[in-house]
Amino acid sequence: MTGGPARSEGILRVWTRSILIAIVAWLFLRTFVVEAFRIPSGSMEGTLLAGDFLFIDKAFYTPRRGDLVVFQSVEEPGRKLVKRIIGLPGDTVSMEAGGVIRNGAAIPEPYAVDADPGKSETPANRERMRRWQEAYFVGADPDGYLPDLHDWGPLVVPPDSLFVLGDNRDGSYDSRYWGFVPRANVRGHPFIIYFSREPDSWHALPSLSRIRWGRIFRQPE
């Protein structure tokens, strides 16, 4: 008989090499090409739902107005968020009675959910918004400027920055509150929902009835 221990060692080397190649390939893809991301909240309803799982396209992505974008939080560096790009560098953006105006023209937003147009922020949050926005404000009355949830600006987006909003305009913690997203924070563009499940079932026993079958393989826009 031939082979024996030598043959077993050869098979082990082949398997080890295959596993290492697979790990390196996955790390490369995750770092430079594609990454998974789960929607944790309702800030992007009704485009994305809490419990949607996305693949993010990271390869050579160039931000465009209206794109969904995943980025590192400017307040919590270890956390990723997803919002919609409203303004690119040099754009002048504002909101009047819930409608977004960019460079002097109202923009159509069929994706936006604004269930309570009369909703107002607390005085403390309005003052917080004013403090960061006043440096970029180009309106007629800077001394009397006091932004609100659905009325703010006009603001000029600085270089290498993005202004982003959640599609759920009444329930999104976004650029209105904490400012611009540095271009360096951008991680990519979500291009497909690969799984979706009702979020209230995460700690319950697995159930196929909780899976949102109709959302799987949908491309969010």
User: Is there a domain that residue 107 lies in?
Assistant: yes
pLDDT per residue as tens digits for the range 170-197: 999 999 999 999 999 999 999 888 889 8
User: Is there a domain that residue 182 lies in?
Assistant: yes
Q: Cβ contacts of residue 125 below 8 Å, gap of 6+?
A: 177
d(CA 111, CA 69): 15
pLDDT for the residue numbered 200? 66
What is the overall mean pLDDT for the chain? 85
- Tell me how many domains the chain contains: 1
CB 189 within 8 A of CB 56: yes
Domain that holds residue 110: 29-215
Q: What is the CATH number of the domain that holds 181?
A: 2.10.109.10
pLDDT band at 27 (very low <50, low <70, confident <90, very high): very low
- Specify whether 119 is catalytic: no
> Which of 74-83, 127-136, 169-178, 196-205 has the least mean pLDDT?
196-205
Q: pTM for the full model?
A: 0.82
User: Is there a domain that residue 146 lies in?
Assistant: yes
Residue 59 has pLDDT above 90, yes or no: no
pLDDT for the residue numbered 28? 42
Q: Provide DSSP, 53-106.
A: EEEEE-TT----TT-EEEEE-SS-TT-EEEEEEEE-TT-EEEEETTEEEETTEE
User: Is there a domain that residue 23 lies in?
Assistant: no
Two structure tokens written together for 105: 């023209």
User: Which of 43, 161, 175, 196 is labelled catalytic?
Assistant: 43
User: Is there a domain that residue 131 lies in?
Assistant: yes
Mean pLDDT across 42-68:
89
User: Is there a domain that residue 16 lies in?
Assistant: no
pLDDT per residue as tens digits for the range 134-146: 999 999 999 999 9
The percentage of the chain sitting over the pLDDT mark of 70, rounded to a whole number, equals 81
User: Which of 41, 80, 83, 120 is labelled catalytic?
Assistant: 83
User: Is there a domain that residue 22 lies in?
Assistant: no
Torsion angles phi and psi, residue 201, rounded to 5 = -105, 5
The amino acid at 159: P
User: Is there a domain that residue 71 lies in?
Assistant: yes
Residue 81 has pLDDT above 70, yes or no: yes
- Specify whether 43 is catalytic: yes
**Across 5-9, 24-28, 110-114, 204-208, which has the greatest mean pLDDT?**
110-114
> Which of 38-52, 76-90, 119-133 has the least mean pLDDT?
38-52
β-strands 161-165, 181-182 pairing: antiparallel
